[in-house]
Amino acid sequence: MVGVALALAGCSTGGASGHAGTSATAPASSAVSASTAVARQSLRIIVQPVNDQVSLSASVLQPTACVLMGSEVTATGIYNGFVAQGYLRVGDVVELYVYTEPMSGYPQGLQLGMLSSERPAVVAGTGGSWTTTVALNITLGTPAVCAVTVQATHQFEGASNAY
């Protein structure tokens, strides 16, 4: 459906790569409207200390990027060093918080992430990578900084024969 709409607008679907883009030969008047374009913006990212008294340290997280695209933010990174089995035993996930700049009454900024729609990564795998995505309520403010931490779900994530 998207390919048909792009073709009617004089755009290509990007051939084998599957990425949409304007055709090199398309006239400027047939370009896709700006309302369908979504800009990518890099946000500053930090590791937030664990505060649930259950999870192990968040020091195993080494974030590499946090990108705002529309009203959704995706943080990526790698595991820094050895990831102990204790993370699996309490079902730790990589939690993503997105804050505005600090403001009166909110020294860390206002948290914009709608955690009910978050897609967190399970903490597992020494040397592996992780990706966590969350939708934002952008009516509350402008995203300024991402913070990742580990959070226990209390859902054991090991093999079924491990307990």
pLDDT digits (tens, 9 = 90+) for 143-158: 999 999 999 887 655 5
Cα–Cα distances (Å) from 39 to 35, 51, 105, in that order, read 10, 34, 30
- 44-47 and 21-22 beta bridge pairing: unpaired
Domain boundaries, the chain: 2-36, 40-162
Angle at 36 between CA 34 and CA 138, to 5 degrees: 95
Q: Once rounded to an integer, what is the mean pLDDT over residues 84-113?
A: 92
| Domain 40-162 in this protein, CATH class | mainly beta
pLDDT digits (tens, 9 = 90+) for 25-79: 333 333 333 445 568 999 999 999 998 788 889 999 999 999 999 999 999 999 9
- For residue 133, what is the enclosing H or E element? strand 129-135
Q: What is the pLDDT of residue 158?
A: 53
pLDDT bucket at 21, cuts 50 / 70 / 90: very low
